[in-house]
């Protein structure tokens, strides 16, 4: 439960006197302000993390990657042992799943970026 500034300053002042530490009422009031500011800052920071909503990323797919994906997808049924109904696109322009007998294979198409200079 949050205490008022004056109540906290009085508590700090009394604790310092009991411990034999020299403190003025103004000093206790300043310490109380700092302590309350720290507590409210922690509460505000914690609230920001919980309420953070990220918008979905838009992925730009190059024309070359689209062309390669389409070519692989359309020509997979020409491979021996692969039936057209056993080919599934899991992620558009990225991931293809192929079933051959009782085994499942995934083909992942990824484009690497140019190195930074």
Please list the pLDDT of the chain residue by residue as tens digits (117 residues). 356 778 878 888 888 888 888 888 888 888 888 887 766 555 555 555 555 677 877 878 899 999 999 999 889 888 888 888 889 999 888 999 999 889 999 999 999 988 888
Residues 6+ apart with CB under 8 A from 82: 76, 98, 100
Nearest to 104 by CA among 112, 95, 113: 95
pLDDT score, position 1: 39
pLDDT score, position 44: 54
Q: What is the pTM of this model?
A: 0.50
């Amino acid at each position: 439960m949050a205490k008022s500034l004056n109540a906290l300053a009085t508590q700090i002042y009394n604790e310092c006197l009991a411990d034999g530490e020299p403190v003025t009422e103004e000093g206790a009031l300043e310490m109380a302000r700092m302590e309350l500011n720290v507590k409210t800052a922690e509460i505000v920071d914690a609230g920001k993390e919980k309420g953070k909503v990220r918008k979905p990323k838009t992925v730009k797919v190059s024309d070359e990657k689209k062309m390669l994906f389409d070519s692989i997808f359309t020509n997979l049924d020409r491979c021996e042992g692969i039936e057209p109904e056993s080919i599934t696109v899991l992620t558009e322009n990225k991931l293809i799943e192929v079933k051959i007998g009782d085994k499942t294979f995934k083909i992942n198409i990824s484009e690497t970026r140019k190195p930074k200079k």
